[in-house]
Chain A
């Protein structure tokens, strides 16, 4: 019975994921347009884009190799698989034993590498620039992220995301210094990786200011659809991850069964909308962060994560 519930939860989670990722991107675009004084397009526009692009005949550069067509799919598969592992409205889903935080980091890196290789495949200047920036900035985000995982793993006794989320839930959201600092570090790394908030990519053609978008300039047809879906899933994954790691209130616990699901679903939806709106607000209110300073920002995230680990050690010492 409990397995059935876990399986059902997983299926529902994946269905919600597929429904929510493009819709959330559409909502954020719409809100951004409204807040900057434009009418904005419908929140369904990403869906229409995906359907339109996936129908089109792909146009490839003359020297594109097989890797160029395969890589966007690998990138999408890695991010979508990772997103399927991050709990949204309930803990204890069927794939929860696989949801290791280090595996999630690895899958995100795999997706990034696949896209970077696709960007290098044609041999254009902008593709190379995007690939180089993508993998380089990831180098500086990784230490912060692993230190956060180190801190949370010490608290929970495991790096499994479900166990960490359950631990955070049980500690009654005691906002310790370590947890708060780790949250700040995770938010910065997530912002850079998902290109959200003040790091939101340019909406007009401004290639020199692009991070991962520059990689996809040669994409067309289903490759472009896969790249856009990857970006949408990546953003949702980061929001889900931050919610599961630091704000897991309302999330249904595995023992509560089906009765806790409606509340969990509601809490998840509300948290998602609030976080997405905050992201859009920050991208409207704050100046866009200059790309050469991104390593500094990630350095700050690493320092925050270092402090989080140090605070944790210090607090366990005094008790």
Chain B
């Protein structure tokens, strides 16, 4: 019943996409509101299963490819991801503005959500792959380079198709689960699935790195692609591949995750544009979440279901913080671009005074997402660290050596991402305006400001109650971790064992509020009331001449000077020219390269299916 209703929601979203393409301009605003309402309905429906109001279900679709019937299937994992996607879809819909130039974002918004729902609810390989393919097409429709998005998605889909063909010949997921692949076939499935799931996670960061401009629709960059990537990894590696895997499967994920976390953090800390900082930060969080998956795979192989469950919970918390947080951050980025006329950090500055609504929403979200207590990002990293600590007990010396490096890498990336957050807010929203345009910036509309605050408050609330964020997957993670029992109740505090003290965000927040409030009260009692405003002292330097109304812009730290000490210390200066050469070569030969890759992948897939 619930699945049928969800299918209707998907159909309605697809219909809405067609409507957006054809409707008169006056109705577009109403269209986004309908989309937000559909997202709300979909989130409620998807949450029914984990809350106990629905049953697992399979629904055959009345259409499909010849010889491969398509199914929708509702199970705990799908419903958890679906509820997250629909909840994040609500702010995406509310903040998508009809513009005079293009309708693409309006069309892609419902279409993208429908395609993602197809991926998540797909009960067989064909439906899942069709949804993934559509996501790539929509990215291209938003103006992303065709060669990258279409060919990249094609590579991912072909790899996944090969994985399904090798590991699970024919049939729907329910039948495949009974016959998991073994030995060399399983290893091949692992490799192909990691590449196939890595494509959605890497597409947008790669586009940015190659220097192509892309309109960052939050629904695609922050919601659909990360959710799809992690869902595919969980579905194939944890669900379909069965409970028994070799221990080494965790190691590649740990290495890839650590590398992605460092690269993403460094890019976020040195990027010149607002959107790039946000997207690179998303790559960093994806990397951390991959670390959780790696630990979970190892723990499953070592028969430690409690550890695997903890690692999967950490992954989920990081994913929630990534999807919800990056959605809001991209919305703030779009508001800044609209209001202040630029996405380059060095052309912004002092926006706090003119765009206070956006500034408050951005600051609250940034502090929730990065590794600062009591935010949801910190909760995820806390749990991840505990999982890494537990993983040190399962393996031999080589795994332990890897873990030491991974701990150092995740700590470095967490600290750099905090620096990136300070740099983003400090350069764009604090200080003095760097351009006349930034000095007359406009804030978002009051209605949107309320929605932004509500969404930021939800993210902050999830930080205080991390158990609330785990509710949608409460039933899904235990079977994936091979645990018989559901994980312990983590609503008020995250713990690693029954008798052990853990991390309790609410008392920490209360302590902070108590100390801060106490200090404030003391000061209010003592201090002379009122304040005096003077020109900035600025270390005693002479005040700027009168014809520089915002002071001398050159003396103010900007995005690149803020990042300079980090780049000097990491000695990125030497690496940059080589990276530039590599990038130029890639941009020049990308088309032929991807063409060859697709051909090779197709031949490989055909050969595998034939044998």
Contact = CB atoms under 8 A, between A and B. Distances in A.
Interface of A: 54-65, 67, 69, 73-74, 76-78, 80-81, 84, 95-98, 100, 102-103, 106-107, 109-110, 113, 116-117, 120-129, 131-133, 135-143, 145-147, 149-150, 153-154, 157-160, 162-163, 207, 217-218, 221-222, 225-226, 292, 295, 302, 305-306, 309-310, 313-314, 317
Which 6 interchain pairs have the tightest Cβ spacing? A128-B557, A123-B431, A77-B516, A120-B426, A142-B415, A146-B411
A312 B418 CA distance: 30
B565 A136 contact: yes
B430 A121 contact: yes
Contacts of B200: none
A148 to B, nearest CB: 10
Interface string B500-522: 11111001100111011001101
Contacts, number: 269
B353 interface: yes
Contact of A109 (B372, B423, B432): B372
A73 B519 contact: yes
Nearest to B526: A54
Nearest to A124: B538
A135 B563 CA distance: 10
Contact of A62 (B386, B389, B516, B535): B535
A150 B569 contact: no
Given A113-B422, A128-B562, A63 B536 contact: yes
Contact of B538 (A98, A109, A125): A125
Nearest to A129: B557
A122 B557 CA distance: 11
Interface string B558-597: 0001111110110000000000000000000000000000
Nearest to B523: A222
Nearest to B392: A154
Contact of B418 (A64, A113, A121, A127): A113
A124 B555 contact: yes
A223 to B, nearest CB: 9
A162 B408 CA distance: 24
Interface in B487-546: 496-497, 500-504, 507-508, 511-513, 515-516, 519-520, 522-523, 526-539, 541
Interface in B317-357: 349-350, 352-353
Given A59-B533, A73-B519, 10 more contacts: A54-B523, A61-B535, A67-B352, A103-B382, A128-B561, A131-B426, A132-B565, A147-B407, A150-B385, A310-B401
Contacts of B388: 150
Interface string B51-68: 000000000000000000
A146 B410 CA distance: 9
B404 A136 contact: no
Given A81-B508, A107-B373, A158-B500, A61 B533 contact: yes
A6 B537 CA distance: 48
Contact of B382 (A102, A122, A313): A102
Contacts of A310: 401, 404
A86 B418 CA distance: 24
Contacts of A138: 415, 418-419
B134 interface: no
A125 B552 CA distance: 10
A143 B408 CA distance: 5
Interface in B368-392: 371-373, 378, 381-382, 385-386, 388-389, 392
A81 B510 CA distance: 10
A150 to B, nearest CB: 5
B536 to A, nearest CB: 4
A76 B516 contact: yes
Contacts of B381: 102
A83 to B, nearest CB: 10
